[in-house]
């Protein structure tokens, strides 16, 4: 068979001629771009063709930021000119820059006028110095887009907390395609250099929602240095919120910060046999508080503290319907060799009767298991020395589990799960070159979420067995404080996040295949 390829006539524009790919051209600006002694409240920029404005809110960056945003026209339609109406009071002897990003496009084809900047000074000259560098993320391979990079002037009123309450002196933004930055048209001086993934675009640091990066010490301008800013999400400061009653003898205590340090105390006359249990929600930052019996009081006071900060809340009891004990398995179907079969419940467990449990394989032979209890998430974990290609059936007879309120499982609970053949998985051996221990070695998915993890304190050889076939990234966390987990930074304390290194892309894992990877860790 012979296949021929032919060029079709009239391919492309049905009307003939080449597609317009040229950006619009500026014919004039009034006042002129780079004007000095600027005292106008309106700017008009005229083009050689009709233009429109796209995504102005995310693309337009004004440095220094204005308290009252200017009005930019046209808002919706097309025009041969763009008008900027200044609503704010301009500072004296200051250079302003309006960076339009790629928001100005021609009306027909959408060709952008790339990164147009309109600059003027209210003084006698245009400030022309700059600070440059690039953004990286502390834990992810690719940093966020639209990162604000800011300079705060270090003068007699400067404090490190300025990022929480005042707008910066100068600002730029990486927009949607860059990791490098250049803050231009700034004057000589001393500055604090900050990067923010500013979720609500107010140029203020919101610890709960924003990421931050900072240069240690100050930046003296002019400078020839290139600065690297590492974005990280801080562990939020402790804060307790008012409890909510979500059921009979069940309260929700929302919080932010480290849950491990939280302590709950009840003030008031309580029954002598009063007791309580807490567990953490696996979906939100909430502690779930169970108590019995019901105090003979309309309301009580709860003190929520972390050893340093304490909040007191009044709580008025309500009469609500009680929950029934609900037990569910976290995994069904296929179970990985390194995972435990796990059950969790909506009410704290208080005991388990192992004589009421039976675990058998596909040949109906009894299988040994070990039980561990996770009181934080209220989970029972069943550890099994699993065999490949095996089927397991786990049965819990009535009254196996006891709950905080004295309820048990009334019915027999039966769960089935299986293992694959080990030939259906791959193996990765990582040879760490130039390691500095201790190290956390991780395989992550395409979203940089941890799938497999190993910890090494002395060996440069790290093995991952029974790896599900798919694409992975390989990264190493330098565990500087040796606590076995990644620690983020803290801006006010001047602490940078623990260093993370990603290897070059590794080959996707295939079934029944062994991989050897040399990963050189740079100083």
Mean pLDDT for 429-454 is 97
Mean pLDDT for 327-336 is 94
The answer to whether residue 20 is domain-embedded is no
The pLDDT of residue 424 is 97
The pLDDT of residue 18 is 60
The pLDDT of residue 380 is 98
Indicate if the pLDDT at residue 3 is higher than 80. Answer: no
Distance CA 436, CA 522 (A): 10
The pLDDT of residue 22 is 82
Half-sphere exposure of residue 436: CA atoms within 13 angstroms, side-chain side: 12
pLDDT tens-digit readout, 272-308: 999 999 999 999 999 999 999 988 888 899 999 998 8
Cβ neighbours of 44 (radius 10 Å):
15
Q: What CATH code is carried by the domain that includes residue 462?
A: 2.60.40.1120
User: In the chain, helix, strand, coil percent, each to 5?
Assistant: 5, 45, 55
Helix (H, G, I), strand (E, B) or coil at 107: coil
Residue that is last in its domain, among 101, 121, 141: 121
pLDDT tens-digit readout, 464-515: 999 999 999 999 999 999 999 999 999 999 999 999 999 999 999 999 999 9
The pLDDT of residue 305 is 95
C-alpha distances in angstroms, 316 versus 242, 290, 321?
A: 11, 15, 16
Q: What backbone phi and psi angles, to 5 degrees, belong to 322?
A: -80, 150
The pLDDT of residue 9 is 35
Q: Are 64 and 151 in contact (CB under 8 A)?
A: no
The answer to whether residue 73 is domain-embedded is yes
Residues 446, 407 share a domain: no
Residue with the bigger pLDDT between 57 and 31: it is 31
Domain count, the chain: 5
The answer to whether residue 278 is domain-embedded is yes
* H-type alpha helices, 94-201: 162-165
Mean pLDDT for 113-132 is 95
pLDDT tens-digit readout, 196-217: 999 988 999 999 999 999 999 9
Residues 222, 134 share a domain: yes
Mean pLDDT for 123-138 is 97
The pLDDT of residue 269 is 85
Q: What backbone phi and psi angles, to 5 degrees, belong to 286?
A: -145, 135
Mean pLDDT for 52-61 is 90
Least confident of 174-178, 386-390, 440-444: 174-178
Residue where the block lists tokens 């100083």: 523
Residues 82, 31 share a domain: yes
The pLDDT of residue 423 is 97
Which structure tokens are listed for 186? 């700034």
Which structure tokens are listed for 396? 């819990």
The pLDDT of residue 14 is 45
Residue with the bigger pLDDT between 460 and 23: it is 460
The answer to whether residue 11 is domain-embedded is no
Q: What CATH code is carried by the domain that includes residue 39?
A: 2.60.40.1220
The pLDDT of residue 19 is 60
The pLDDT of residue 2 is 31
Residues 469, 432 share a domain: yes
The answer to whether residue 275 is domain-embedded is yes
What is this structure's pTM? 0.85
pLDDT tens-digit readout, 92-111: 999 999 999 889 999 888 88
The pLDDT of residue 137 is 97
The answer to whether residue 430 is domain-embedded is yes
Indicate if the pLDDT at residue 48 is higher than 50. Answer: yes
In this structure, what DSSP letter does residue 35 have?
B
The answer to whether residue 12 is domain-embedded is no
Half-sphere exposure of residue 428: CA atoms within 13 angstroms, side-chain side: 25
Q: How confident is the model at residue 13 (pLDDT cuts 50, 70, 90)?
A: very low
The pLDDT of residue 115 is 86
Indicate if the pLDDT at residue 183 is higher than 60. Answer: yes
Residues 227, 140 share a domain: yes
Mean pLDDT for 140-156 is 95
Residues 380, 341 share a domain: yes
Residues 251, 177 share a domain: no
Q: Are 277 and 251 in contact (CB under 8 A)?
A: no
The pLDDT of residue 20 is 60
The pLDDT of residue 176 is 84
Residues 442, 412 share a domain: no
C-alpha distances in angstroms, 94 versus 39, 331, 361?
A: 12, 62, 78
Indicate if the pLDDT at residue 4 is higher than 80. Answer: no
Question: What are the residues facing 29 on neighbouring strands?
Answer: 45
Q: Are strands 426-433 and 514-520 parallel, antiparallel or unpaired?
A: parallel
Which structure tokens are listed for 523? 């100083």
Q: How confident is the model at residue 456 (pLDDT cuts 50, 70, 90)?
A: very high
Residue where the block lists tokens 């040879």: 431
Cβ neighbours of 299 (radius 10 Å):
10
Number of residues written out for the chain: 523
Closest CA to 168 of 199, 192, 187, 184: 192
Domain range holding 183? 129-231
Q: How confident is the model at residue 8 (pLDDT cuts 50, 70, 90)?
A: very low
- Across the chain, what does the average pLDDT equal? 93
Handedness of CA 12, 18, 23, 29 (dihedral sign): negative
Mean pLDDT for 384-409 is 97
Q: What CATH code is carried by the domain that includes residue 362?
A: 2.60.40.3780
Residues 434, 403 share a domain: no
Residue that is last in its domain, among 76, 105, 121: 121
pLDDT tens-digit readout, 229-274: 999 999 999 999 999 999 999 999 999 998 888 999 999 888 999 9
> In Å, how far from its chain's centre is CA 193?
22
The answer to whether residue 8 is domain-embedded is no
Residue that is last in its domain, among 71, 104, 121: 121
Indicate if the pLDDT at residue 16 is higher than 70. Answer: no
């Amino acid at each position: 068979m012979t296949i021929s390829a032919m060029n079709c006539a009239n391919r492309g524009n049905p009307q003939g001629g080449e597609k317009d790919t040229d950006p619009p051209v500026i014919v004039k600006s009034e006042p002129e771009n780079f004007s000095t002694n600027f005292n106008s409240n309106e700017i008009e920029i005229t083009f050689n063709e009709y233009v429109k404005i796209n995504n102005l809110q995310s693309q337009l960056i004004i440095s220094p930021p204005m308290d009252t945003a200017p009005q930019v026209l046209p808002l919706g339609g097309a025009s041969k000119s763009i008008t900027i109406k200044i609503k704010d009071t301009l500072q004296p002897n200051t250079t302003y820059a309006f960076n339009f990003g790629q928001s100005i496009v021609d009306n027909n084809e959408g060709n952008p006028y790339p990164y147009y900047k309109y600059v003027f000074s209210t003084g006698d000259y245009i400030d022309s110095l700059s600070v440059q560098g690039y953004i990286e993320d502390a834990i992810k391979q690719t940093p966020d887009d639209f990162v604000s990079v800011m300079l705060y002037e270090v003068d007699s009123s400067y404090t490190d907390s300025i990022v929480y309450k005042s707008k910066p002196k100068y600002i730029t933004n990486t927009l949607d395609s860059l990791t490098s930055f250049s803050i231009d048209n700034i004057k000589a001086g001393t500055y604090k250099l900050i990067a923010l993934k500013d979720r609500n675009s107010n140029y203020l640091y919101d610890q709960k929602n924003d990421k931050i990066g900072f240069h240690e010490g100050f930046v003296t301008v002019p400078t020839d240095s290139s600065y690297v800013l590492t974005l990280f999400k801080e562990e939020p400061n402790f804060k307790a919120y008012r409890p909510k009653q979500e059921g009979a003898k069940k309260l929700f205590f929302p919080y932010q910060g480290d849950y491990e340090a939280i302590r709950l105390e009840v003030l008031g006359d309580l029954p002598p046999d009063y007791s309580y249990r807490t567990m953490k929600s696996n979906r939100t930052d909430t502690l779930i508080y169970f108590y019995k019996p019901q105090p003979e009081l309309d309301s009580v006071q709860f003190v929520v503290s972390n050893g340093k900060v304490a909040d007191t809340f009044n709580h008025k009891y309500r009469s609500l319907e009680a929950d029934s004990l609900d037990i569910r398995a976290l995994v069904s179907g296929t179970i990985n060799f390194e995972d435990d079969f796990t059950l969790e419940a909506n009410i704290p467990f208080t005991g388990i009767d192992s004589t009421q449990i039976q675990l058998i394989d596909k040949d109906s032979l009894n299988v040994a298991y070990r039980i561990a209890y996770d009181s934080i998430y209220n989970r029972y974990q069943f550890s099994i020395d699993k065999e490949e290609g095996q089927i397991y059936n786990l049965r819990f007879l009535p009254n196996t589990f006891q709950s905080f309120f004295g309820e048990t499982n009334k019915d027999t609970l039966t769960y089935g799960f299986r293992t694959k053949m080990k030939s259906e998985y791959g193996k990765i051996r990582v040879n760490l070159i130039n390691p500095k221990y201790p190290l956390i070695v991780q395989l992550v998915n395409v979203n940089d979420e941890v799938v497999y993890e190993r910890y090494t304190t002395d060996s440069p050889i790290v093995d991952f067995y029974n790896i599900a076939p798919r694409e992975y990234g390989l990264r190493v966390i330098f565990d500087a404080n040796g606590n076995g987990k990644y620690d983020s930074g803290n801006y006010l304390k001047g602490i940078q996040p623990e260093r993370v290194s990603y290897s070059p892309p590794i080959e996707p894992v295939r079934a029944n295949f062994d991989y050897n990877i040399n990963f050189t860790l740079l100083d």
